[in-house]
Amino acid sequence: MAINWTEAQIEQIVASVMKNLGHGAPDADCQWNSTSYCGRNLIGIYEDMNDAIVAAEAGYKAIRSMSVEDREKIITVIRRLCREEAPIMAKLGVAETKMGRVDHKTAKHMLVADKTPGTSDITASVKTGDFGLTLTEMAPFGVVGSITPSTNPSETVICNSIGMIAAGNGVVFNPHPNAIATSNYAVDLVNRACAEAGGPRVLVASVAKPTLDTANIMYKHPSIRLLVCTGGPGVVKSVLSSGKKAIGAGAGNPPVIVDDTADIRKAGKDIIDGCSFDNNLPCIAEKEVFAFDSIADELIDAMKGAGAYLITKEQADKLAEIVLVDKKNPKTGVISKIVNRDCVGRDAAVLLEKIGVRVCSNIRCIICETEFEHPFVQHELMMPILPIVRVRDIDQAIDLAVKAEHGCRHTAHMHSKNVDRLTRFARAVETTIFVKNAPSYAGIGFGGEGHTTFTIAGPTGEGLTSARSFTRYRRCVLSESFRII
Ligand code: NAD
């Protein structure tokens, strides 16, 4: 599990995977939808959410009688298939959602395969004393209902499945409608792995047409004992209002501070690497920069050297008119700005073309200097657009960065060699993830220590979820015996 990839290794993995990209990937001859892929029916996909829940419950009952070792065998096959079919899912994800980048999505699947904890994450604890022995074990909930996003669709389905199966659960997914074929491909992959390892034919299930109604059936169904939601504020709120135990992994708007002690060249490259990863779709990715005025010019130069394209204030305002659109609240009539879904996760070159700027394909991020109030700073764009705000000192940097994070307490980044300043910002911003002197993805184990997850549960406090997040603690008391001293 302790994989710490260097940048060269990541490039090597991506290069070797890209070589096989044509194999099995969706092409003109391959028809795909939410229930089939290249003429093959996907396993575990149902028209009716109730049927999906019944199937997952049968799968859960089947694995209850299996040993932990057998569960680990299922997970081993999931990891293998995830690696082998990463290019297919990456290409399918981009083709279906029109968001992100195939090479980066491929690397994300490799990360899930290699660094999502399995059954080793499930442990027991014992307390002994004058009254005997008390054992606490991590037990499955039963069937977990999981809502997954369009931004990391198959990554989240597979990552959730590994953790939830390791914990002994069955799973029903209500995936994002815009990524349903990709998500259901991953559901099928998990079921194929399960059957190959001697488990039930269906252990995880999904629906052909997910809607808010199918989500509501899931919320209310008595067999669903735990809800896990990975998505924006609306859906997290709806899950937390369900009346059931729920894990909510919501939105963020990660700020980055760069001070005058940082290695500026490295900071510029790290920030562009993180911000442009999968075209800024990951919720942890750098969304706005607060740079000390004294180093801001040097930082911008470093960013340009790392593949960023600097636009003017006027161009930034023009782009903001395109990537953000008005939405009227049907209840209050109040109009507010929301992100234009057609621009989320698009290549920097595509976004630049919308304001009449043509660049070559090695440009991977758009940067601009803005004031703090600019919509690029205030909105979670999920696009490779990075606003830079000049600040005079650390006090102003922390003050503005905390405000820009909007209390999501999700992720923040800082480039500095001053330990006091790093500590001050980490304490003030109170985020689940705080990355120092590295690209954002180091926070989920990509070139950083620690396990990975694509469900970062800030609102409900589980943090970077893993198998143990999907368990309930049960106690067994053996009074006045079983103590050997
Ligand atoms: P989204 O919020 O648009 O949708 C998430 C899922 O919820 C989809 O399946 C959608 O159909 C469903 N949904 C939406 N409203 C619902 C409601 N009221 N009731 C039931 N279901 C509902 O998410 P998205 O655009 O695909 O993902 C992007 C958002 O998710 C961003 O805000 C991002 O920060 C966040 N995100 C967070 C994490 C994390 O780990 N914290 C991970 C990925 C994405």
pLDDT in tens, 110-127: 999 999 999 999 999 999
Ligand 1 near 355 CB (within 6 A):
no
Cα–Cα separations (whole angstroms), residue 380 to 199, 329, 361, 376, 387? 41, 19, 24, 8, 12
> Given this model, what pLDDT does residue 10 score?
54
Residue the block writes with tokens 């040097």: 298
- Confidence class of residue 380 from pLDDT cuts 50, 70 and 90? very high
Structure confidence at residue 11 (pLDDT): 57
**pLDDT per position as a tens digit, 365-377:** 999 999 999 999 9
Q: How confident is the model at residue 9 (pLDDT cuts 50, 70, 90)?
A: low
Phi and psi, residue 463, nearest 5°: 70, -140
Q: How far apart are CA 229 and CA 175, in angstroms?
A: 10
Distance from C-alpha of 137 to C-alpha of 457, rounded to nearest angstrom: 22
Whether residue 79 has pLDDT greater than 70: yes
Looking at ligand 1, which atom is closest to the CA of residue 454?
40
Q: Is 452 in the pocket of ligand 1 (CB under 6 A)?
A: no
- The percentage of the chain sitting over the pLDDT mark of 70, rounded to a whole number, equals 94
The residues, ordered by sequence, that sit 6+ positions from 224 with a Cβ below 8 Å of its Cβ are: 53, 142, 143, 144, 145, 172, 218, 244
Q: Which of 12-26, 276-290, 398-412, 436-450 has the lowest mean pLDDT?
A: 12-26
pLDDT band at residue 23 under the 50/70/90 scheme: very low
Per-residue pLDDT band for 470 (boundaries 50, 70, 90) equals very high
Strand partners, 258: 291, 415
d(CA 160, CA 162): 6
pLDDT at 24 over 90: no
User: What's the confidence (pLDDT) of residue 3?
Assistant: 46
Confidence of residue 29 (pLDDT cuts 50, 70, 90): confident
Q: What is the pTM of this model?
A: 0.94
Which residue among 34, 49, 172, 176 has the greatest number of ligand 1 atoms within 8 angstroms of its CB, and so is best to mutate?
176
For the CA of 283, the closest atom of ligand 1 is: 34
Q: How many CB atoms lie within 10 A of CB 178?
A: 18
Q: Is the CB of 235 under 6 A from ligand 1?
A: yes
* pLDDT over 60 (residue 1): no
Q: Does the structure show a pLDDT above 70 at 102?
A: yes
Instruction: Give the mean model confidence (pLDDT) for residues 403-428.
Output: 98
Query: 345 in ligand 1 pocket by Cβ < 6 Å?
Result: no
Inter-axis angle of helices 86-97 and 153-166, nearest 10: 130
> Is any ligand 1 atom within 6 A of the Cβ of residue 450?
no
Which protein residue's CA is at the shortest distance from atom 44 of ligand 1?
231
Position 13 pLDDT exceeds 60: no
Q: What is the pLDDT of residues 134-148, one digit of tens each?
A: 999 999 999 999 999
Choice from 235, 240, 456 to test ligand 1 binding pocket (greatest atom count within 8 A of CB): 235
Residue 25 has pLDDT above 80, yes or no: no
Whether 317 shows a pLDDT value over 50: the answer reads yes
Residues 72/2, Cβ–Cβ less than 8 Å: no
Atom of ligand 1 nearest to the CA of 152: 43
Does the beta carbon of 234 sit less than 6 angstroms from any atom of ligand 1? yes
Ligand 1 touching residue 238 (CB < 6 A): yes
Average pLDDT over residues 212-226: 98
pLDDT at residue 7, rounded to an integer:
57
What is the pLDDT averaged over residues 271-284? 98
Looking at residue 483, its pLDDT comes to: 81
151 lines ligand 1 (CB under 6 A): yes
Mutating to test ligand 1, I would choose from 99, 240, 283 the residue with most ligand atoms within 8 A of its C-beta, which is 283
Q: Residues, the chain, total?
A: 485
178 lines ligand 1 (CB under 6 A): no
**Ligand 1 atom 10 nearest Cα:** 176
**What is the radius of gyration, based on Cα positions, of the chain?**
23
The residue whose C-alpha atom lies closest to atom 36 belonging to ligand 1 is 231
Check if the beta carbon of residue 258 is closer than 8 Å to that of residue 415: yes
CA 300 to chain centroid, in Å, comes to: 28
* Residue 112 · residue 158 · CB < 8 Å: yes
What does the mean pLDDT of the chain come to?
94
DSSP character string of 231-267: S-HHHHHHHHTSSS-EEEE-----EEEE-TTS-HHHH
Residue type at position 440? S
CA 358 to CA 377: how far, in whole Å? 24
Q: Is 183 in the pocket of ligand 1 (CB under 6 A)?
A: no
pLDDT category at 17 given cuts 50, 70, 90 is very low
Q: How far is the CA of 212 from the centre of ligand 1 (A)?
A: 12
Residues 331 and 337: beta-carbon distance below 8 Å:
no
Q: How much is the pLDDT for 22? A: 39
Q: Name the pairing type of β-strands 463-464 and 456-457.
A: antiparallel
State yes or no: pLDDT of 128 exceeds 70.
yes
Q: Which of 13-17, 103-107, 175-179, 203-207 has the lowest mean pLDDT?
A: 13-17
Tens of pLDDT, residues 181-202 = 999 999 999 999 999 999 999 9
Token couple for 105: 């999505």
Whole-angstrom Cα distance, residue 218 to residue 57? 13
Question: Ligand 1 within 6 A of 380 CB?
Answer: yes
- Place 21 in a pLDDT band, splitting at 50, 70 and 90: very low
Total Cβ atoms within 10 A of residue 30: 14
Once rounded to an integer, what is the mean pLDDT over residues 389-396? 98
